[in-house]
Structure 1
Amino acid sequence: MQRVTLVRYAAKPERADENEALSRKVFAELRRVRPHGVAYALFRSGDEFVHLFVNFEDDSSDAVTELPSFKAFSAASGERMVEPPQPLRIATDLVESYGFEGAEARV
């Protein structure tokens, strides 16, 4: 069973750049640590953010949520956001994919 998580939220306009900077630290740490079998992306449109996380090997988000940089990102997130995000978490089986390097070995 794999894990797919989609999180969408709006940052306070004056904190959106700070939110992006903290998010980028998570990606920098991921590039250093290189957890196997996961994909993570951040999308931004103005003050709106969308995080997409896929774990191709397990129904867990620990590969990201246990990183010190993610804990720092999460620590004061409520102060940066207009309202709390509503994560959508799905435990599912991968059928087919394109463009997810972590899935290449599973397809």
Structure 2
Amino acid sequence: MRVMIRYTVRPEHVEQSVALLRAVYADLERVRPSGLRYETFRLDGGGSFLAVIESEGDPVAAPHHRLASFQRYRAALSEICTESPTVTYLDQVGSYRSE
């Protein structure tokens, strides 16, 4: 299952969000959970972010949710977002040279 999550943080909290995300990615590199692909993009250099998560089974139960760093990140979003995370389930129609 693949999902896209989009959210926006207040301008004064962009660097905090990036730092929290870097901690999540450092933990993912250390733990290396199987069956998970996770990418986050900062849009146009502003405070909007887009994450694409692919996992086996239910993405809500994806392995990164168990990381303490992800839980800290998710808790912070509740406080710093101007646009709350919106989840969109993706159903791939085609692909060219994607990994």
What TM-score, normalized by structure 1, do the two folds share?
0.77
The match for 2:57 is 58
Q: How many residues align?
A: 96
Q: Deviations over 1:4-29 (max 9, x none)?
A: 11111111000011001101111100
**4+ runs deviating over 3 angstroms:** 92-99
Counterpart CA distance in 1 for 2:96 and 2:38 is 15
| Root-mean-square deviation over aligned CA pairs | 2.2
Identity value in percent: 31
- Where do 5+ consecutive residues of structure 1 fail to align? 101-107
- Where do 5+ consecutive residues of structure 2 fail to align? none
What TM-score, normalized by structure 2, do the two folds share?
0.82
Q: Which amino acid aligns with 2:27?
A: E
**Cα distance change of structure 1 residues 95 and 63 upon mapping to structure 2, 3 Å threshold:** farther
**Cα distance change of structure 1 residues 29 and 7 upon mapping to structure 2, 3 Å threshold:** same
Task: Considering fraction of residues, name the structure with more strand.
Answer: 2
Q: Which amino acid aligns with 1:59?
A: D
- Which runs of structure 2 are paired with 1:59-98 in the superposition (5 Å)? 59-60=58-59, 61-90=61-90, 98=97
The match for 1:104 is none
Deviation at 1:37, TM superposition (A): 2.0
